[in-house]
Amino acid sequence: MSAAPRFAWPDYLAAGAVVLIWGLNFVAMKFALQALSPFQLGAARYVVAALPLVFLIRRPSVQARWVLLYGLCQGVGQFGLLFVALKVGMSAALASVLMQTQVFYTVIFSAVFLHEKPGRNLQLGLWLAAVALLCFGTDVIVTAGQGVTALGLMLNLGAAGMWAVSNIVARKAQQSVAYPAGYDPLAFVVWSSLVPILPFVALSAWMDPPFIWASLSQVDWRSWTSVLYLGWFATILSYALWTGLLKRHPANRVVPLSLGVPVVGLLAGLLALQESVTAWQWAGTGLTISALAFVFRRERVVATPRINPLVKEAP
């Protein structure tokens, strides 16, 4: 088996851009949700992401099922749950931290479905993550989370799980295409952005009150600017870069690169939204970042002596 390719400076540059875009992503969601329902925001985000690029970029060279699965998992699953979580009780700062539990979901899923086995550092990271989640749960129970609800917490964790599933789908899509040609990550993201639009519109028609759609004309410029940011930067640009990394490297080596997202997200939430962070949330955040640091550490390779079968050992 050939060794996995090493990360080059363009890979780290791409990861840095993704971290910055996704860290600011949560503030943009909060602004947009002040005027739009979660399902309206989902539909608007992916309309902006898909149009007009879908008419300019050829369909990716993968089976349609992978495009469909990715669109459902990453669009409806990840962001549908996250938007509802932010609406019913989740701060942008804390959401940016909890979404990084996708690292641990991905490690588990990649071991099961991709046979990418976790090492000792990954296992230690999972234990730290479990303690971090206990801190967040305690915060909701003891202090009412200062705007964070138990439902918001559970939906946020579900969104992180769906992000991990979409990571696996991206890797499986790559494995289904003849190497080294692979597929175009930008085309993959653009065409998969068509998938969530109708489900989000259907969910809005089913669950949103009728006056929500009638009030679209009153949505302010800040909310529409947030939608454009979410569609062009947080979806097309960032997920094209992210999917490109997943195309070139094992999933359990790529996902720890999102380590910086909670740091950017916390600072953005504190500065832009004046959100407060409780002691329990700081403890959970510190444990989560520590856990991610363990995941990011290189595994120590212990050399095993080679035994010459023609030479007998001394009795």
Q: Give the CA distances from residue 52 to residues 49, 60, 169, 201, 270, in Å, rounded to whole numbers and listed in that order.
A: 8, 16, 25, 19, 35
The Cα–Cα gap between 155 and 86 comes to: 9
Residue % of the chain over a pLDDT of 90 = 34
DSSP letter, residue 177: S
Examine the pLDDT at 193 and tell me if it is beyond 90: yes
Half-sphere exposure of 295 (CA within 13 A, CB side): 31
**Mean pLDDT to the nearest integer, 270-282:** 79
User: What's this model's pTM, rounded to 2 decimal places?
Assistant: 0.78
Examine the pLDDT at 16 and tell me if it is beyond 70: yes
Specify the pLDDT at position 130.
Answer: 78
What pLDDT, in 10s, does the model give residues 54-88?
Answer: 999 999 989 999 999 999 999 999 999 999 999 88
What pLDDT, in 10s, does the model give residues 124-179?
Answer: 877 887 788 788 777 766 765 566 788 998 999 999 999 999 999 988 888 888 65
Specify the pLDDT at position 157.
Answer: 93
Select from 58, 75, 289, 299 the least CA-distant residue to 199: 75
pLDDT mean across residues, the chain? 82
The count of structural domains within the chain is 1
The Cα–Cα gap between 195 and 50 comes to: 9
DSSP letter, residue 118: -
Specify the pLDDT at position 312.
Answer: 45
Q: Give the CA distances from residue 39 to residues 44, 209, 220, 284, in Å, rounded to whole numbers and listed in that order.
A: 9, 12, 18, 29
What pLDDT, in 10s, does the model give residues 229-241?
Answer: 999 999 999 988 9
More confident call, 213 vs 209: 209
Domain range for 204 is 23-210+229-296
Specify the pLDDT at position 311.
Answer: 45
More confident call, 115 vs 50: 50
Return all residues near 97 (Cβ < 8 A) that are at least 6 apart: 262, 265, 266, 281, 284, 285, 288
Examine the pLDDT at 310 and tell me if it is beyond 50: no
Residue % of the chain over a pLDDT of 70 = 85
**Mean pLDDT to the nearest integer, 9-23:** 88
Q: Best-predicted range by mean pLDDT among 56-65, 99-108, 260-269?
A: 56-65
- Residue 122: inside a domain: yes
Specify the pLDDT at position 274.
Answer: 80
Specify the pLDDT at position 307.
Answer: 45
Specify the pLDDT at position 182.
Answer: 67
Specify the pLDDT at position 77.
Answer: 96
- Residue 282: inside a domain: yes
- Residue 141: inside a domain: yes
Specify the pLDDT at position 266.
Answer: 75
- Residue 216: inside a domain: no
- Residue 125: inside a domain: yes
- Residue 45: inside a domain: yes
More confident call, 308 vs 29: 29
More confident call, 30 vs 311: 30
Specify the pLDDT at position 315.
Answer: 42
Return all residues near 3 (Cβ < 8 A) that are at least 6 apart: none
- Residue 13: inside a domain: no
- Residue 143: inside a domain: yes
